[in-house]
Amino acid sequence: MSNILIIKHGSLGDLIQANGAIKDIKNFYKNRKVFLLTVEAYSIFMSECPYLDGVIIDKRLPRWNLFYLNKLKKKLLRYDFSKVFDLQNSSRTKFYRRFILKNIEWSSTETSLEPGQKKSDFDQDPVLDRLEIQLKKSGIDTEFTKNIDLDWATSDISRLLKQYTNNEYILLFPFCSAKHQNKKWPYFRELISQLKKDYKNKYPILLAPGPKEIEEANKLNGKVVLDNNEPVKIKTLVSLINKAKFVIANDTGPAHIASHLDKKGLVLFGSHTTAKKVSIENFNFKSITVQNLKDLNLETVINEVKSRLN
């Protein structure tokens, strides 16, 4: 029997958001094997996802690298895929459709458009709304697309919690990728100092940096959570967020995790996008949006935290 391929390269936040859609796809194709094509950074994490039968790594080498593309094509064709769900909807995956996975039924943004509708207009809708429309076009019930269950992605972190805190804690994510500095609120150090002052150390302030963020985290006067002196794995990260009393973050992957775990928290947005478009707000997890994050003052953030943490 033929197999099903889902393409979602990343980022972490995007993969978290796609979990519900992945579950709905697997529920629809109960008697077929469902595979995910993603990048190596997320392959181990997603290989533990119970809605997948396997993960295929895409190195995403330049498209002029014909040797790699031919190798990838041969690998994918061995799986005898009968349908591809392109949840990445990028220029790369569009290229794959034309040159690597030809003559296979394909689900994408473009196949989801109504007659006369432009992709640029469709892309303005909230991301989870777009995923829901895309799956429904293939006749798939979307029970979980907007109701993402991350229970499978958590693990026992009692050892780490005992090491860093035996109490409730506030978890901060002041980081962002180097190419998206406009997503970064610059006053997290001041925020940590104010939180310590206002709450008299009632809530330890924890930071969980990635591999390239440890040096930055060490300058912020919070508790830097490492596991055997290494950045925590993704499941540990999800678990830290799940156990937190409150989460404050830039618009990054951990913020999306917090949102879909229905944690109390706050995400800070500049003008790069909107909370509605990335489907991040809910009853417990709220956003503050400004034109320029440099203009979002400490007092505004502190007041919002106090109003929701007490």
Residue 260 phi, psi (nearest 5): -80, -10
Q: How many CA atoms lie within 13 A of 271 on its CB side?
A: 4
Inter-residue contact 287 to 281 (CB < 8 Å): yes
Instruction: Please tell me the predicted confidence (pLDDT) of residue 124.
Output: 87
Which domains are assigned to the chain? 3-149 (3.40.50.2000), 153-309 (3.40.50.2000)
C-alpha–C-alpha distance, residues 145 and 27, integer Å: 12
Instruction: Please tell me the predicted confidence (pLDDT) of residue 276.
Output: 87
C-alpha–C-alpha distance, residues 146 and 121, integer Å: 21
Instruction: Please tell me the predicted confidence (pLDDT) of residue 120.
Output: 86
Look up the pTM and report it: 0.92
Instruction: Please tell me the predicted confidence (pLDDT) of residue 88.
Output: 96
At residue 190, the 3 state secondary structure works out as helix
Place of tokens 């707000």: 281
> Structure tokens of 155?
């693990």
C-alpha–C-alpha distance, residues 22 and 209, integer Å: 27
C-alpha–C-alpha distance, residues 108 and 138, integer Å: 10
Instruction: Please tell me the predicted confidence (pLDDT) of residue 310.
Output: 72
Residue 82 phi, psi (nearest 5): -105, -20
C-alpha–C-alpha distance, residues 181 and 179, integer Å: 6
C-alpha–C-alpha distance, residues 5 and 27, integer Å: 14
C-alpha–C-alpha distance, residues 235 and 229, integer Å: 17
**253 has which bridge partners?**
none
> Structure tokens of 176?
């962002």
**224 has which bridge partners?**
207
Instruction: Please tell me the predicted confidence (pLDDT) of residue 1.
Output: 65
The per-residue pLDDT string of the chain (310 residues; one tens digit each, 9 = 90 and over) reads 699 999 999 889 999 999 999 999 999 999 999 999 999 999 999 999 999 999 999 999 999 999 999 999 999 999 999 999 999 999 999 999 999 999 899 999 999 999 989 988 898 899 999 999 999 999 999 999 999 999 999 999 999 999 999 789 999 999 887 777 778 999 999 999 999 999 887 899 999 999 989 999 999 989 999 999 999 999 999 999 999 999 999 999 999 999 999 999 999 998 877 888 888 999 999 999 999 999 999 999 999 999 998 7
> Structure tokens of 287?
């956003």
